[in-house]
A and B are shown apart, each in its own frame.
Chain A
Amino acid sequence: MTTTAPAALDVQHLSIRYGTGTPVVSDVTLSVAPGEIVGIIGESGCGKSSIGFALMGLLPGTAVVEADALGVGGRDMADADERDWNGVRGTTASMIFQEPMSALNPCMRIGAQIAEVLTVHSLASKKEALAKAVELLTLVQVPEPELRAQQFPHQLSGGMRQRVVIAMAMAADPTLLIADEPTTALDVTVQAQILDLLDKARRETGAGVLLISHDLGVIAQTCDRVVVMYAGQIVEEGTPSEVLARPSHPYTAALVDSIPTTHTAPRVDLPMIRGGVTDADRATAGCRFAARCAFATDGCSAPQELEAVEEGHTARCWRTHELPLSRKEVLA
């Protein structure tokens, strides 16, 4: 099943489990077009990061990955071995980490770290690579790039380091960029700059971006399409404006409800989703959110399918049309 489609990412029915345990990701179908930013959102443990690592072939050996297709940059990696992955990592697909400090080698100059990505794949000589590194630092808007290239990570601020990490990820012109919580470790003002930068980067290079986050604001601000995950399953998918303004799954609605807005009354408890995801939820045949859902009925124990709510907007809830879900315009 080799796909010749130009999609940056084309995943069909991906399931991941560890050993013989319950699957952490089940039956996820996901695609990212070139130049598109797709956001995956969900709470901790919903399988977001497992997907990211699976797409780089970086899951530990105990992980069992099953997929009908795992197209990364047009190459099907469903049955890929380590050597195949080496041909993809860094060049076709690369990754931006959450914690910019630990993603940089403290003993290596910034320029040399960026250049390494290029020299390793013989894309440039050492001298060219160092020049390209300065160029990339300029691209990610690091001031005084020549000086910064000569410095060590500890001499840079958090935001600046994350720019360097992005520059490293962009160095070899990847078709797919996986950003795993790229702004979580940064303060809010810097966050916006980094997201702008990601946006600019995909426009200039045409790379597809898979943005993994648990921050609705980040997703709303940046993504072309958003995928909401719950307990390893996609529960809703659509454009941010559709999904966040007209949520069609009770989980998404509850997520949106729990965002404080300027209209939120002061000194009143914020709405929250009670409970947490359990292993039993992941293993159930029916709706996995039922245990925490305010609208759950007996019928929810039947298997749920992703069904279209409107054009390009799907949700995994059989009651979606009869539910009084939140319609407030929180994020535009």
Chain B
Amino acid sequence: MTRLRNGALIAGVSLIVFLLAFAFIGPLLTPYGVNDVSDVTFAPPTSEHWLGTDNLGRDMFVRLAIATRYAILISFASTVLAMVAGTGIGLIAGYAGGRLDNLLMRSTEVVMAIPAILLALVVRVIFGPGFLPLILAMAIIGAPGFARIMRSPILVLKERDFVVAAEIAGVRRPRIALSHLLPNATTPMLVNFASTASLAVLIESSLSYLGQGVQPPDPSAGRMISEFQRFMYEHPTLVVMPAVVITLLTVAWNLLADGVQVALTPKAGNLAVPTRRRRRGPRPASPRANAVEAAPAEPEVDPHDTPDSTHDAVPTGASSAPMAPQGRA
């Protein structure tokens, strides 16, 4: 493992940046409004309309850019919401254990057992159209994943000496959860963030395709496909272009997930830390240049690999001999 470039991360970030630029700067480059109708219908790509126009003569470049904007914002917002809720549930379940753990985890399983699209449709029916119910629906779909992914490292971490030490020091449990448990479990969380966001993009387009996502006249890639599929044989680009947008966005989030995973794997090695040795300045020559092999100097550093030393210290097993104790009472 010498000098591995984190290709996934670079590709993922570049693609996201490109899509963000398209979504937020793109519309400023053309004179057309997103809902401006004109006589020029089904125009092919020209210097006037870079990606042509649709059946109502609306500029496809602007509409696709705005659709991308919605897709990014909705997937991001819903995933943030899912992360906050799910991480909270996982943290509480893992740290509290016992009945609360059981209750919370079984609840997440119930949610996971319902097909995502169906669940989203139900939430839409209950809360009505609009962006907030849409985001809420997708947050509910994403949260159980975060809860499960968060819980398992917490189960390991809460037995570690430094958590016991903090308990001994009298630190309150909520604070222990936030300052001692959570920061040590961020890697799986961040990886899951990117993959949940990519899932959110797909669900949003599916819902929009079914007419339950972004509502007209706001543009959405999913709804464009459903609207334009009747013109598919005459004007295939109208369907292909939104499909490409959905694909790019999904791929971007997935690449980001892979990249983040690789970048954060040697946990302690890539924290921003003041060190006496020169670590600033031009990096490429140093073998530590890349996060991938920025392995810590000492091998026992990885918080998840350190053998659990509390085991022999905290006695748990009861002995099986049936004899009565003989202590002085």
Asked if A201 is at the interface of the complex by the 8 Å CB criterion, the answer is no
* CB-CB contacts below 8 Å: B18-69 with A: none
Asked whether A21 and B319 contact (CB < 8 A) given A58-B167, A120-B169, the answer is: yes
Q: How far is the CB of B258 from chain A (nearest CB, A)?
A: 23
Digitize B293-329: 1 where CB-to-A-CB distance is under 8 Å, 0 elsewhere. 0001110110100101110111111111101111111
Residues of A within 8 A of B170 (CB): 86-87, 89-91, 117, 120-121
Q: CB-CB contacts of B268-296 with A at 8 A, as 1s and 0s?
A: 10010111100000000000000000001
Q: Please report the C-alpha to C-alpha distance between residue A133 and residue B317 in the assembled complex, in whole angstroms.
A: 38
Which of A92-100, A236-244, A246-254, A255-263 participates in binding chain B?
A: A92-100
Is residue B183 contacting chain A, with contact meaning CB distance below 8 A? Answer: yes
- Contact, CB under 8 Å: B274 / A147: yes
- Chain B residues contacting A155 (CB-CB under 8 Å) are 273, 275, 297
In Å, the complex CA distance between A87 and B170 comes to: 8
B174: shortest Cβ distance to chain A, in Å? 12
Task: Name B's interface SS.
Answer: loop
Residue B109 at the A interface, CB < 8 A?
no
A interface bracket (residues with beta carbon within 8 Å of B): 35 or more
Q: Does B166 contact A (CB under 8 A)?
A: yes
Interface-located stretch among B111-119, B137-145, B157-165, B193-201: B157-165
Q: Is A228 an interface residue (CB 8 A)?
A: no
Closest to A60 in B: B316
Number of residues of chain B lying within 8 A (CB) of chain A:
51
Nearest CB of A to B147, in Å: 21
Cβ–Cβ contact A26 & B325, under 8 A = yes
How many Å lie between the Cα of A217 and that of B273 in the bound state?
39
CB atoms of A99 and B309 under 8 A apart: yes
Complex interface: stretch among A49-57, A266-274, A320-328:
A49-57
B154 to chain A, nearest CB (A): 14
Cβ proximity bits B171-200 to A, threshold 8 Å, 1 near / 0 not: 110010001100110000000000000000
Question: Which residue in chain A gives the minimum CB-CB distance to B298?
Answer: A154
Q: Which 5 A/B pairs are nearest by Cβ-Cβ distance?
A: A283-B323, A21-B318, A18-B318, A279-B321, A99-B309
10 A-B pairs whose Cβ atoms sit less than 8 Å apart in the complex = A19-B318, A20-B318, A21-B319, A26-B326, A62-B316, A89-B169, A101-B301, A155-B273, A185-B309, A280-B321
Q: Which residues of A contact B (CB under 8 A)?
A: 13, 15, 17-24, 26-27, 44, 49-50, 52-53, 56, 58-60, 62-63, 66, 86-87, 89-91, 94-95, 97-99, 101-108, 116-117, 120-121, 147, 150-152, 154-155, 165, 168, 172, 180, 185, 279-280, 282-285, 303
